[in-house]
Amino acid sequence: MTHIIDGKQVAATVIDAVQQAASDLERTKGVRAGLAVVIVGDDPASHSYVGAKGRMAKECGFNSLQHTLPAQTTQGELAGLVASLNQDTSIHGILVQLPLPKHLDADAIIQSIRPEKDVDGLHVVNAGKLATGDLATGLISCTPAGAMLLVRSIHGGDLSGLMAVVIGRSNLFGKPMAQLLLNANATVMTAHSRTKDLASVARGADILVAAVGRPEMVKADWVKPGATVIDVGINRIDAPERGDGKTTRLVGDVSYAEASGVAGAITLVPGGVGPMTIAMLMANTITAAYRLNGLSSPSF
């Protein structure tokens, strides 16, 4: 029978460990982990994500700060705030919510965050550490780090002999995911919009990870029987059939109805990778707080 990988449950285990580590840090060093989240403008989806991150940070026992800046904030003002957070010893994690308004240079802002406080794992120093196989001192992008824990929940930490295919090559997800799988000894292929015969490439995977942004693109005949399928996509589609006052629903990049009949293990959308992203943000923040206080960080 197909195993449904429960992202909520794995995320809850991570949060338990973070809470324990946060209370140990406060008890032994008198240090409260601090997470600063910066949001510019009034995009409702971004505000909802930031609100959820702030609530979870509080649940973890962190000092949770939100800086809400108006849409017309200048590059200089935002850079100034990041510079002051870089200096602030009570802040261990800095997250600038993306996307930023179009007049701002998001990459310059992200690269100005001190890498030790870059809890989104997007700074080139952190991306470079992952690319060179240093998983011990950098901070890893939250969604791939979370997806990797879901893979580990099925296969353990050593993926020797397994073929992994990641569909998508973004800096945010596809590339770091491929590197994490490679680090765990999988044989890895990264597919993208220029890949020829994607269905047959996907069918070769023991571990198939889809991060594309195309609703239900992965069909039953893309999945090797018994494979582990990790669906990263979050797509809102019309669903007039719901009839409960709601006219849309969320689906992944994988047709769950089709693929769940073939896969050995599969994630749900929602309730799969999504909850892992926020849990790994908390894990990165406590990791940063330990390191910035000269302690070896807990592992997750």
Q: Does 143 bind ligand NAP (CB under 6 A)?
A: yes
Which is the catalytic residue, given 118, 120, 206, 231? 120
Query: What CA–CA distance (Å, rounded) separates 144 from 92?
Result: 21
Closest by alpha carbon to 70, among 42, 48, 51?
42
Q: Say whether the peptide bond before residue 275 is cis (omega within 30 degrees of 0).
A: no
97 is catalytic: yes
CB of 87 to ligand NAP, least distance (A): 30
Interface with ligand NAP, residue 280, by CB under 6 A: no
By CB under 6 A, is residue 178 in contact with ligand NAP?
Answer: no
Structure tokens at 122: 């997007």
Choice between 21 and 232, CB closer to ligand NAP = 232
Which residues are within 8 A (CB) of 120 and not within 5 positions of it... i.e. 6 or more apart? Answer: 95, 96, 110, 139, 141, 142, 281, 284
Of residues 34 and 176, the one with the C-beta less far from ligand NAP: 176
Of 51, 70, 80, 213, the one binding ligand NAP by CB under 6 A: 213
φ, ψ for residue 231, nearest 5 deg = -105, 110
Q: Tell the smallest beta-carbon distance from residue 5 to ligand NAP (Å).
A: 13
Q: Given the DSSP bridges, would you call strands 163-167 and 187-191 parallel, antiparallel or unpaired?
A: parallel
Give the separation between CA 139 and CA 284, rounded to whole angstroms.
6
In this chain, which of 24, 235, 250, 271 binds ligand NAP, going by CB under 6 A?
235
Q: Does 214 bind ligand NAP (CB under 6 A)?
A: yes
Tokens representing 268? 């749900």
Q: Is 175 a known active-site residue?
A: no
Question: Is-catalytic flag, 53?
Answer: yes
181 contributes a contact to ligand NAP by CB under 6 A: no
Neighbours of 63 (CB within 10 A): 16
CB of 211 to ligand NAP, least distance (A): 4
Which residues are marked as active site? Answer: 53, 97, 120
Please report, as ranges, the residues that interact with ligand NAP according to CB under 6 A: 143, 167-170, 172-174, 192-194, 198, 211-214, 232-235, 273-274, 277
